[in-house]
Amino acid sequence: MSDLRELYQEVIFDHNRSPRNFGKLDDANRTAEGYNPVCGDQVKLYVRVEDGVIKDVSFDGQGCAISTASASIMTEALKGKTEQEAETYFKSFQALVTGEGEADDSLEEMFKLEVLGGVREFPMRVKCATLPWHTINAALENKSDSVTTEK
Ligand code: ZN
């Protein structure tokens, strides 16, 4: 178990140090910004959707290691997925990190997201991990308001 935890920490560390899909996406047709005032995480999501498929996705902003790693892992998992699949991933990820509801283990990229399951033990960090997901959700729904974890 401690080996697994170490591996998870390594993955998060790696994604935080060299985030994937980081930077503005010039041909994005959906964008949204998210803010988690509890931690100070700010994230902006850029998505290019064509025919209901997430053709490309990137993010930028400033946040803690958990929010940055979560955004990085999320963009990797969702690239090439349909909007509907993204929704399923969002729900499964939320179930994973909050411990409420069922995560769909049959999702092919779910294993990538599981490294963040450990935040469940740290309620303050759950918002860091879910912020990028709430933000991409808003982008996909074309909401222009910025997202905040505090309602
Ligand atoms: Zn944070």
pLDDT in tens, 78-129: 999 999 999 999 999 999 999 988 888 888 888 889 999 989 888 889 999 9
| Rounded distance between C-alpha atoms, residue 138 and residue 74, angstroms | 14
Q: How far is the CA of 89 from the centre of ligand 1 (A)?
A: 21
Q: Which amino acid is at 124?
A: M
Pairs from 92-95 (Cβ < 8 Å, separation ≥ 24):
93/130, 93/133, 94/130, 94/133
pLDDT > 90? residue 143:
no
Distance 67 CA to ligand 1 centre (A): 5
Angle ∠(23,25,31) on CA atoms, nearest 5: 105
Whole-number Å distance, alpha carbon 65 to ligand 1 midpoint, is: 7
Cβ atoms within 10 Å of 44's Cβ, excluding its own: 22
Quote the longest CA-to-CA distance of the chain: 44
The residue with tokens 């560390």 is 13
Going from the Cα of 51 to the center of ligand 1, the distance in angstroms, rounded, reads: 33
pLDDT the model gives residue 130: 96
CA of 114 to the centre of ligand 1 (A): 18
Strands across the sheet containing 30-36: 53-62, 41-50, 30-36, 147-148
Strand partners, 48: 56
User: 43-78: per-residue pLDDT in tens?
Assistant: 999 999 999 999 999 999 999 999 999 999 999 999
Q: What is the rounded distance in angstroms from the CA atom of residue 50 to the CA atom of residue 38?
A: 35
* Top-level class of domain 3-143: alpha beta
Domain spans of the chain, in order of start: 3-143
- How far does the centroid of ligand 1 lie from the alpha carbon of residue 97, in Å? 14
The dihedral formed by the CA atoms of 12, 17, 20 and 26, expressed in degrees to the nearest 10? 140
> In this predicted structure, what is the pLDDT of residue 5?
79
